[in-house]
Amino acid sequence: MEVSWTVPRRRVNNSRIIEPGYARLYRVDDAGTGEPRVAMLRNDRVAGYTEVATFPLQEPPSSFLRGGRITYMDRRGLVYDRRYTYVVTTTDAQGRTSAPSARASITYIAPPERPQALQIEAGDRTARLQWQPAAKLVDGSAVTDPLVYEVLRAADPGGEASVITRTAAGVHAFEDRGLVNDRTYYYAVRAIRTAAASSAAGAASERVAVTPIKTTPPEPVKDVAGVPSRGEVRLSWRPSPEPDVANYIVYRAARGTPMRVGAVRPPTTTFVDRDVAPGTYRYTVTAQDASARANESGPSNEVTVTVP
């Protein structure tokens, strides 16, 4: 159970607290019916409540204090389906204790088990995820409340994963778009249960890696022209407009299927086919991108030349 609150910096008369002392967190539990127990201070303690933790505010302050706010994860002796009510007091260095804070109540509910069989399919700047829904809660009971799912993504196997989306209830798939091709991402999914005005997040699934890949080939080159001479053919063309073209590949055919005879790198848009025997030939040029898949465009216009 995560409990968080802001540490007061002023007294009830609005004067500034110069010497802070410590904060105390208290709780009481019940079946969840009626009003929670009233919090009253008696001998600097909250009567009827159990002290959970004490947090020093002076130097060195508690490690739970960040930017004037304390955040604490209470895990001690919690029982599912019990309502827990928390209050906080603050004491200064002279031992003067504040009245208890307003009460904050929450029912501790069992979270779902982790989703299973997370599968991811790579696409062009996308990752398509699907998984099997959680069928049970961690206490072994069946899931009866609608579950939503949070999708988490990390940049490396052991790095911190961030929530990138929360699905609608009953949705067990998600497509993550706008990714960088040829970069590996790591995904996990966890189920979120809401009941009795409380939410509980289950454990995340095992992480699965995926590397988006470009699948769309470049646009073809245009206006291929060929000039034959004895033993060679000089080719030129207008380049593909795509920014990631890595190679222009030249194909030649006398009859039948064209065969690759060479390649050049941009910005070069010319090629000399040498040691060509006399005869008539057909030439085409394709553009190949720099992706890991090395997508190749369709052929350019075909140019026919006769070598003397």
Per-domain residue ranges for the chain? Answer: 2-108, 116-210, 222-307
* pLDDT at 122 > cutoff 80: yes
pLDDT digits (tens, 9 = 90+) for 91-112: 999 999 999 999 999 999 999 9
Region 62-86 average pLDDT: 95
User: What pLDDT, on a 0 to 100 scale, did the predictor assign at position 59?
Assistant: 87
* pLDDT at 196 > cutoff 90: no
User: What pLDDT, on a 0 to 100 scale, did the predictor assign at position 303?
Assistant: 97
Which fold does the domain 2-108 belong to in CATH? Immunoglobulin-like (2.60.40)
Euclidean distance between CA atoms 22 and 269, whole angstroms: 75
Region 124-147 average pLDDT: 93
Region 45-62 average pLDDT: 95
Q: What CATH number matches the domain at 222-307, 3.20.20.150, 2.60.40.10, 1.10.3330.10, 1.10.3470.10?
A: 2.60.40.10
CATH of domain 116-210: 2.60.40.10
User: What pLDDT, on a 0 to 100 scale, did the predictor assign at position 158?
Assistant: 86
User: Quick one: three-class SS letters along the chain?
Assistant: CEEEEECCCECCCCCECCCEEEEEEEEEEECCCCCCCCCCEECCEECCCEEEEEEECCCCCCCCEECCEEEEECCCCCCCCEEEEEEEEEEECCCCECCCCCCEEEEECCCECCCEEEEEEEECCEEEEEEECCCEECCCCECCCCEEEEEEEECCCCCCCEEEEECCCCCCEEEECCCCCCCCEEEEEEEEEEECCEEEECCCCCCEEECCCCCCCCCCCEEEEEEEECCEEEEEEECCCCCCEEEEEEEEECCCCCEEEEEECCCCCEEEEECCCCEEEEEEEEEEECCCCCCECCCCCCEEEEEC
User: What pLDDT, on a 0 to 100 scale, did the predictor assign at position 241?
Assistant: 94
User: What pLDDT, on a 0 to 100 scale, did the predictor assign at position 146?
Assistant: 84
Question: What is the pTM assigned to this prediction?
Answer: 0.72
pLDDT digits (tens, 9 = 90+) for 140-169: 999 988 899 999 999 998 889 999 999 999
- Give me the chain's average pLDDT, please: 95
Region 256-282 average pLDDT: 96
Topology match between the domains 116-210 and 222-307: yes
